[in-house]
Amino acid sequence: MADALKIGLAGLGTVGASLARILQMRASELAITCGRPIEITAVSARDRTRDRGFDLSTAEWFETPEAMAERGDIDVLVELIGGAEGAADRSVRAALARGLHVVTANKALLARHGVEFAQLAEQKGVLLNFEAAVAGGIPVIKALRESLTGNTVSRIYGIMNGTCNYILTRMEKEGLTFEACLKEAQRLGYAEADPTFDIEGNDTAHKLAILTTLAFGTQIAADEIYLEGISNISIEDIHAAADLGYRIKLLGVAQRTDSGIEQRVHPTMVPHDSVIAQVDGVTNAVAIESDILGELLMVGPGAGGNATASAVLGDIADIAKSRPGEQRVPVLGTPAASLSPYRKAQIQSHEGGYFIRLTVLDRAGVFANVATQMAQNGISLESIVQRANGAAASEAKTIILVTHATTEDSIRKAVSGIKGENYLASEPQVIRIERPKAF
């Protein structure tokens, strides 16, 4: 049997602890399936004395992950620290420069420095694996990087943040407000004390940027993503969507258009009977549309210690099975030097149109004026419904519009015109509608 693969583990949080535990529990099986033992020989973590339920006494401890990457007796750096800068950046950079393989679950780091790291890894002839960085235990990176070779991907989209999906699911199923669901998510550990990164869509955007590069062979462009979070989704929106036959999900969407690549993250209405609409709680789902395979949907755990550790372990196993000098799969699917410059497309017309909710003062002519604003901007309406607002019916009413396919620009102009008429009681709500081809 070949010599052991020596792992330097940076970070012993939820994922790092799960990984260390699995490596020890499955040591014999992994040695057989990988053709060599896998051993943690170096560790860097904040608290060396904490009892985590497994033995790392034989591993060398380092005060910083950078020191471990620079001097540790290791073959692979496993970076599970998080963050786009600081120790994560420095340790990965040092490991690659030294010619070590790297495994990371850090989507923020890859969204910021992924192309640079890919170039360095390819120059050094080492592997940079990151399956756990997107959608937890779902093997979407391997699918795009290897399994779909030869396919031309036209669109990739999905539910990529368990926190947001949990909140939206609870709002719908239990009739709770956004604020109440967020507090529950924090209590259960699904949301951070400061949940902004998740609920405003940044986490999904980082994941989408990585998938976009893998799908379309372009430079990573995380700063070019149209971004909306879920903090403005109300229980009224949830109920209205249900009445119309839809459920609201936070989707990340990237698609190839004639004018470039479109990337967007926003709340979306999807038909209640579609498969992706049934993805509830902290579960993730990623759909890929391509010319040869057609439509592929992958669903599974998107977060959590075991799910993420499973993806990290798969990356380590790939390294253990690889042999020096063999041809490597490019880090980002396409050799880093051959990635195309990112060309941003304007957000195009949407097959499913838009949902618009307006809370208006109860004045004569309001209904007609709304319809006129739509017509003046070339927007065809599928339906228009007016509702009284319960006890406040004498003062305000709700108008719900569902449009046919139209452009973002037309919707924004129409809404701006409506806001200028001074009969709105609150800010308009605009949610895109997507009708997946096969899901």
394 CB neighbour count, 10 Å cutoff: 9
The 3-state DSSP class for residue 404 equals coil
**Residue 90 vs residues 68, 84, 109, 315, 389: alpha-carbon distances, Å:** 11, 10, 11, 21, 56
The 3-state DSSP class for residue 331 equals coil
Are 120 and 97 in contact by the 8 Å Cβ rule? The answer is: yes
Nearest to 406 by CA among 373, 376, 379, 377: 379
Nearest to 5 by CA among 377, 333, 316: 316
Nearest to 288 by CA among 64, 438, 103, 98: 438
- Here the tokens at position 18 are 């799960």
Burial profile 308-339: b = 16 or more Cβ within 10 angstroms, e = fewer:
bbbbbbbbbbbbbebeeeeeeebbbbbebeeb
* 207 Cα distance to chain centroid: 4
**Residue 9 vs residues 1, 91, 144, 329: alpha-carbon distances, Å:** 23, 11, 27, 24
Per-residue pLDDT of the chain (439 residues; tens, 9 = 90+): 689 999 999 999 989 999 999 999 999 999 999 999 999 999 999 887 787 778 888 999 999 999 999 999 999 999 999 999 999 999 999 999 999 999 999 999 999 999 999 999 999 999 999 999 999 889 999 999 999 999 999 999 999 999 999 999 999 999 999 999 999 989 888 888 899 999 999 999 999 999 999 999 999 999 999 999 999 999 999 999 999 999 999 999 999 988 899 999 999 999 999 999 999 999 999 999 999 999 999 999 987 788 899 999 999 999 999 987 676 889 999 999 999 999 998 777 666 799 999 999 988 889 899 999 999 999 999 988 887 665 454 578 899 999 999 988 899 999 999 999 989 999 999 999 987 664 5
Write down the catalytic residue from 207, 249, 344, 397.
207
**Rounded CA separation 416/428 (Å):** 10
Secondary structure in 3-state letters for 146-211: HHCCCCCEEEEEEECCHHHHHHHHHHHHHCCCHHHHHHHHHHCCCCCCCCHHHHCCHHHHHHHHHH
Residue 125 phi, psi dihedral angles, 5° rounding: 70, 35
DSSP string, 242-296: HHTTEEEEEEEEEEEETTEEEEEEEEEEEETTSTGGG--TTEEEEEEEETTTEEE
- The answer to whether residue 207 is catalytic is yes
Are 106 and 132 in contact by the 8 Å Cβ rule? The answer is: no
What is residue 420's predicted lDDT score, i.e. its pLDDT?
92
**Rounded CA separation 64/321 (Å):** 29
Neighbouring residues of 396: CB distance < 8 A, sequence distance ≥ 6: 359, 360, 361, 362, 389, 425
**Angle CA 249–138–291, to nearest 5:** 80
